[in-house]
Amino acid sequence: MGRSLVVEADGGSRGNPGVAGWGALVRDAGTGTVLWEGAAPLGKASNNVAEYSGLVAGLTAALRVDPAADVEVRMDSKLVVEQMAGRWKIKHEDMRRLALEARDVASRLSAGGGSVSFTWVPRERNKAADALSNVGMDGRTVDRMVGGAGPGPGAADARRVEEAVEEIIDPTPDDVSLQPATELRPDLGTPARILLVRHGVTEFTEQGRLDGRGGADPSLTEAGRAQAAAAGRATAHLLAGTPARLVTSTLARAVETGAAVADAIGATPVADADWDEQSFGDWDGVAVADLVRNHPDELAALRNDPAYARPGGETHEQLQRRVVAAFERAVAAGGVTVVVCHRKPIMVVLAHLLQLPHETVWRLAAAPGSLTAVEVWADGNASIAFTNRT
């Protein structure tokens, strides 16, 4: 029988697509000792391509350690784990190519008498691979085999492992990234609470027209103002006097809804353009019914392809980058933050927390004037208290 190994892999892109790199390591499953670690730059690539590249490198290293190993792959990318497990489809050509490479290495391990399984882990339990991926994004290449393929590393090998890891990751005494998963300490403190409020309706909402940043920017209708007032009352009821920051997008309908919420909770709103709706470019103001009738293929691409953008507009990936950055700022601030924004930014936050693939995000509902609440702890764990409450 071969050894039991754990592969931890990750990848990242500063821009998505942008400057990319991968990082991975191989541990002895029994002792947690690092046997190999690697990192490399990828030039310009997407996050998903970088994650798959880390997976391929980690499996290849496991094959080098022991060609008959039983390997558990741990990654914080729900997309990669579900696709490699065969539960989700792989649509993009670059990802499909890398997935085939990973499956080829997995089949070689299986042919030697080993096996490969895939496990999703929270980001906080993948810190070592994440740190190595940043080394790759910084332009450095690491390929360090420490333990080898024997029955297990001795004391000298173990010391070299720790020195190698410290050189790359430089952990602090409180860093748990190199501890076995069972030793991770959960955060039992007070989470940051984010209340997401969708704006009330405008004429465009009522007419079923696309309405992104850079478009006509209509104001609330009478019905929209009533929804904004109701959202304010509901927010005040939920907060029950708890102090909260209030952030809105820069678009008129969110600013006006935010003013109603501000009156109800006694807060001063601050506008943040990162919470704006996606820009639909030359389709801003166009009725969805007309697009269904006249441009069904392009509309399907806008919904299903995160890299597709209309002329003058944004891709979903661009929207996702700015919204997640704004969300993480709100979480880092702690306490309670009320964010008045739009349907797609709310979808992005929920998909980010639930690790949903792009093709399923449209299943998340956020009605005009609705409230969605999430809680995030310092260890990265999160809870979605409720969604789409009106």
Domains of the chain (ranges; CATH) run 4-183 (3.30.420.10), 192-389 (3.40.50.1240)
Instruction: Tell me the three state secondary structure of residue 256.
Output: helix
pLDDT value of residue 85: 86
Write the CA distances from 294 to 282, 283, 289, 307, 312, integer angstroms: 15, 12, 9, 22, 20
Confidence at 226, pLDDT banded by 50, 70, 90: very high
pLDDT value of residue 89: 82
Confidence at 378, pLDDT banded by 50, 70, 90: confident
Across the range 371-378, mean pLDDT stands at 92
Confidence at 15, pLDDT banded by 50, 70, 90: confident
Q: Which residues 6+ apart lie within 8 Å of 303 measured at CB?
A: 362
| Per-chain mean pLDDT for the chain | 88
Query: Which residues are the active-site residues?
Result: 199, 277
Across the range 215-228, mean pLDDT stands at 96
Q: Is the pLDDT of residue 164 over 60?
A: no
pLDDT value of residue 167: 41
pLDDT value of residue 147: 53
Q: Is the pLDDT of residue 331 over 60?
A: yes
How much of the chain exceeds pLDDT 90, in percent? Answer: 74
Q: Is the pLDDT of residue 168 over 50?
A: no
Tokens representing residue 61 in the block: 């290293």
Instruction: Tell me the three state secondary structure of residue 356.
Output: coil
Cα four-point dihedral sign 329, 330, 331, 333? positive
pLDDT value of residue 190: 85
Instruction: Tell me the three state secondary structure of residue 80.
Output: helix
Instruction: Specify whether the CB–CB gap between 211 and 204 falls below 8 A.
Output: yes
Q: Is the pLDDT of residue 184 over 70?
A: no
278 vs 210: CA distance, rounded Å = 10
pLDDT tens digits for range 63-111: 999 999 999 999 999 999 989 988 888 878 888 899 999 999 999 999 8
Identity at 113, one-letter amino acid code: G
How much of the chain exceeds pLDDT 70, in percent? Answer: 89
| Comparison of pLDDT for 136 and 161, the residue scoring more | 136
Q: Is the pLDDT of residue 148 over 60?
A: no
Tokens representing residue 346 in the block: 């709310």
pTM for this model (two decimals): 0.57
Across the range 321-337, mean pLDDT stands at 94
Is beta strand 142-145 parallel, antiparallel or unpaired with respect to 245-248? unpaired
Confidence at 323, pLDDT banded by 50, 70, 90: very high
